[in-house]
Amino acid sequence: MKKQLLGAAAALVLAACSQPEAVEPEAETAASNTSSIEVAEVNPIPGDDALRQAIREDYANYLQPLYEHFHANPELSFMEVETAARLAEELRALGFEVTEGVGQTGVVAVMRNGEGPTLMLRADMDGLPVPENSGVSYASQATGLNRFGEEQPIMHACAHDTHMTALVGAARQLVEMTDEWSGTLVLIGQPAEEVGLGAVAMLEDGLYDRFPVPDFNVSFHTFAATPVGQITYHPGYAMANVDTVDIYVQGRGGHGAYPHTTKDPIYLGAQIVVALQGLMSREISPLEPGVVTVGAFNAGLKHNIISDEAHLQLTVRSYSDETREHLLSGIRRIAEAQAASYGLRPDEYPRVEIEEVYTPALYNNPELSARAVAAMRTRFGIDAVSEVQPIMGGEDFSQYHRTEENIPTFMFWVGGTTQERLDQFTADGIAIPSNHSPLFAPNDPAETISQAAEAMTAITLDLLAVEQES
């Protein structure tokens, strides 16, 4: 049972927020060339711009130790007690009205600054059960309990520490610039992104009832495979629905020498694995994305014994609700039909269990994406902010727009590894350590965090621009 729980937790870790699929440079270029967002030529602000300068100085004097503190002291999903307390303390000191314990360990910080729209900026706070091997001097040596009470190594292998630090960095600028924006800022520290449960926990705990309802939601994720200095995004569906499915195939065991006296669950399971591939290739339009992956197939004990059951573990990815429904119902239909064709009775059909809580697809509102991208390109230049292909990873930031309020949402990706280092890995023929790898920590965090803080500040100044009042 314990093993099963661990397995489920591990599967969720893989399902959540991970962005393992590096976008091919060619795809990036192709996507940029056919960008669906039209942005006028802009002149990037020179490097000695006051805001940029202020963030760089603040990084050196203040944000760097804060980042290294977060990095060295990671906590697991829904266990982010010290992390949340520190984030709350930082934002309270800036004059935000801070509420802790929202959705277990979540933090909500509100600043009302006159008339105008409400903007929510979100950072996630949890680390992963990964032993750090990144080689940075402030590497985590932490171990701690997960929410099931099991002791595990912990690391900010998904760079959520950069998200929190950049959020504080942006907040520290915005409180100095209150005459340059008007409206309400809601900054949240979200727990448990890695298990896909934190956003829902905050919403169910009244995020949109107890606090100002946002007109816009914005967040970013540091991405290991993107070069430092680069920001990428995709308008529309950007990240996938992530579903976890278990198929328990029942059989009738017996001696391997007399298969005709048995119902072999390995044979049946294999038929199911193959038939499932017809879902995407023959039932869904070739223009619609989707994945059905059987990631685990466990059965049997010995060469000459036909076992009683087999267990298949699947991850199912899609963008649209319709495709998701088709795939999930199709998995059940195929599993049962294969069993029927093998002569099993209906009461012996495979048991198909679909995890109730899933990570829905992340939809970047096109209009909000265009505004945010324009604000970022104005600061960083067109070449530094590129449209890329959507990815089949998942991210529970999507939950914030899937409520009756239907709030426009935008998430962008910030480079976490320098081009030199990416080139070195390529030259050495070594795979680039991705988010969730024990080897991954941003190797130029000053640049990654400063750029992210500047981007968040720029987007806020645009969305809450003073002239919007009139």
Two tokens at 433?
């350590």
CB of residue 170 vs Zn ion: minimum separation in angstroms? Answer: 18
CB of residue 18 vs Zn ion: minimum separation in angstroms? Answer: 5
Nearer to Zn ion, 17 or 384 (CB): 17
User: Helices then strands (H, E): number in the chain?
Assistant: 13, 18
- Find the length of the chain: 470
108 burial level (CB within 10 Å; 0-12, 13-18, 19+): buried
**Residue numbers annotated as active site:** 126, 193
Write down the H helix ranges in 306-350. 321-341
Q: Residue 350 carries which DSSP code?
A: P
Nearer to Zn ion, 173 or 448 (CB): 448
Distance CA 117, CA 121 (A): 13
- Per-residue b/e over 316-337, b at no fewer than 16 CB within 10 Å? bbbbbeebbebbbebbbebbbe
Distance CA 200, CA 60 (A): 35
Nearer to Zn ion, 17 or 98 (CB): 17
CB of residue 160 vs Zn ion: minimum separation in angstroms? Answer: 6
The residue with its CB nearest to Zn ion is 158
Two tokens at 363?
């939809």
Q: List contacts with Zn ion (CB under 5 A).
A: 17-18, 158
Q: Give the CA dihedral 289, 355, 244, 271, nearest 10 degrees.
A: -100
Nearer to Zn ion, 18 or 250 (CB): 18
Nearer to Zn ion, 77 or 307 (CB): 77
- Owner of token pair 């995709």: 234
Residues 320, 321, 324: CA angle, nearest 5 degrees: 90
CB of residue 395 vs Zn ion: minimum separation in angstroms? Answer: 7
CB of residue 149 vs Zn ion: minimum separation in angstroms? Answer: 22
Task: Please give, one letter per residue, the 3-state secondary structure of 98-116.
Answer: EEEEECCCEEEEEEEECCC
CB of residue 157 vs Zn ion: minimum separation in angstroms? Answer: 7
Confirm if 198 and 190 have CB atoms less than 8 A apart: yes
Nearer to Zn ion, 262 or 437 (CB): 437
